[in-house]
Amino acid sequence: MNAGDNKSYDDINVTPMVDLYLVLLLIFIIMTTAGVQSVKVDLPKASNSSKDEGGAKTKAITINNEGKIFLDTIPVTLQELEQRLNAHKSKHPEFPVVIKGDRQTQYQGIMDVLDVVGRLGLTKIGLATQGPAK
């Protein structure tokens, strides 16, 4: 036996241990993010009825930049608007209404139309907007 054979090893090769730690760290990161992304919620159910319930056609109310009001494409006053919507409501109690206001329209004109729609008790109201320009 040689005197050099009894020499103790002072250094340990830690490369396999670092690889193991990195793999474990990667697994924990993946499991943590997967757990956060999979939040369980109870989603509402959609009805099977068609969107056009009994011929309840959508009514479009348009207010142009001069403050004139149109029901579909027919010019009306606020009183005529209320009368025509009320007549349509007697035939179709749950019909949707879409309100389109010009960008230059006075806010009061849109509020007057919303007031008429609110007095009639209509609940399916949409405000038409245009997406941002790209």
- For residue range 66-111, what is the model confidence (pLDDT) as tens digits? 888 888 888 888 899 888 888 888 888 888 888 888 777 777 888 8
What is the pLDDT, as a whole number, of residue 1?
52
The model's confidence at residue 16, banded by pLDDT at 50, 70 and 90, is confident
The model's confidence at residue 132, banded by pLDDT at 50, 70 and 90, is low
What is the pLDDT, as a whole number, of residue 50?
46
Strand partners, 100: 62
Contact by Cβ (8 Å): 99, 127: yes
Contact by Cβ (8 Å): 74, 62: no
What is the pLDDT, as a whole number, of residue 109?
83
